Chain A
Amino acid sequence: DVKVTQSSRYLVKRTGEKVFLECVQDMDHENMFWYRQDPGLGLRLIYFSYDVKMKEKGDIPEGYSVSREKKERFSLILESASTNQTSMYLCASSSGGGHSYGYTFGSGTRLTVV
């Protein structure tokens, strides 16, 4: 069974901390994405990557950075966590042949910044 695995289901961090959210996929997918999901706002794209070492800003990149050193791993970094970054974070991947097969999502990480 193909999988996208996010390292933590729940995280509680303090304001100002540097936070790492890890995502690993075992499908050999080229494309990987980080979204945050908030009630009433739906999924909003933070960053994406179409290849190793490649990264592109999504719609709401401010306060975040990413790293993709290996094809299977895409990390989201909150440089200095703030309370408005409390949210559900979803990682997704898709094949490089186009998005026509849709995304496979991870189970999500619910981050609370206090």
Chain B
Amino acid sequence: GQNIDQPTEMTATEGAIVQINCTYQTSGFNGLFWYQQHAGEAPTFLSYNVLDGLEEKGRFSSFLSRSKGYSYLLLKELQMKDSASYLCAGLPYGQNFVFGPGTRLSVLP
């Protein structure tokens, strides 16, 4: 089956580092995506991993371990504007995206 799990809510302090985990059970994903969604707005693409390892994009990095069914999104130097929901999405071979429930991150001053 295809199931993606994420923590529902997280809280962190401005300037800190936060790691949002995502675990999945599937026979195979063609990629693992992270989206950011501010309240009342559309999700926007953040990062994409197709191979194991770390992808870095400025303050945001994403990691994937396919053998462990595990990914994380790492946010450094947190800013207030990073308060949003973060959606983990897997792409099974030959199928459409499967989305996790999303993690609502609150950044406190």
Chain A positions within 8 Å of B, measured between CB atoms, are 4, 33, 35, 40-45, 48, 58, 90, 98-100, 102-108
Contact = CB atoms under 8 A, between A and B. Distances in A.
Contact of B42 (A42, A58, A107): A107
A105 B41 CA distance: 9
Nearest to B46: A102
Contacts of A103: 43, 45, 97
B8 interface: yes
Contacts of B31: 99-100
A44 to B, nearest CB: 8
Interface residues of B, number: 22
Interface stretch (B13-21, B62-70, B98-106): B98-106
A43 B87 contact: yes
B101 A41 contact: yes
Interface in B19-54: 30-31, 33, 35, 40-45, 48, 50
B41 A108 contact: yes
B48 A108 contact: no
A99 B91 contact: yes
B101 A40 contact: yes
